[in-house]
Copies of this chain bind each other. A is one copy, B any other.
Amino acid sequence: MQNIDLVNRDPNNINDHIGVEFEDILAEPDGAHSIDCVWKASYCCFNFWKNFWYKLATLCCGICIAAEWGCEFASIAFTHVWFITPLFKVLEIECGCLKKFYGMCVHCCLDPCCESVGLMCNAFKKE
């Protein structure tokens, strides 16, 4: 609770693509201006209904959803830290061995051929 920032609620800018301010959605170019009071009323209505529904939805579901995501990410973190990362380490070691062996075979078979064919291409070499 010590470092929660109530003003800037997206410090890592992960939801910056969701621009839902009035001026991102509705805008009148020069030459098409509605009556001042209509424009003002539109602004108020837009903001009122946007805030009303968003605040209502978050009031009803926000806390539960946050709790669910908390459980979900706890299980993901647990699985990854305690199983998947150590498993990858095992795989990495085994894979390194396999690659070394397999690579030895491949190099043994292909290298002479490739070198020979490479001689043919020497003709194109820029001196």
How far, in angstroms, from A122 to B9 measured CA to CA in the complex?
Answer: 46
Using an 8 Å CB-CB cutoff, how does the interface string of A112-127 with B read, 1 for contact, 0 for none?
Answer: 1111111111111111
A27 & B57 in contact (Cβ 8 Å cutoff): no
A14-34: which have CB < 8 Å to B?
14-34
**Given A114-B117, A117-B120, A14 and B24 contact (CB-CB distance below 8 Å):** yes
**Smallest Cβ-Cβ distance to A113: which chain B residue:** B106
How far, in angstroms, from A52 to B10 measured CA to CA in the complex?
Answer: 25
Using an 8 Å CB-CB cutoff, how does the interface string of A71-109 with B read, 1 for contact, 0 for none?
Answer: 111111110111111101111110111111111111111
Point out residues on A near B: beta carbons under 8 Å: 1, 4, 6, 9-36, 38-55, 57-59, 61-78, 80-86, 88-93, 95-127
Of all A-B residue pairs in the complex, the 9 with the closest CB atoms, nearest first, are A49-B70, A34-B58, A121-B123, A103-B112, A42-B66, A53-B74, A10-B27, A32-B77, A110-B116
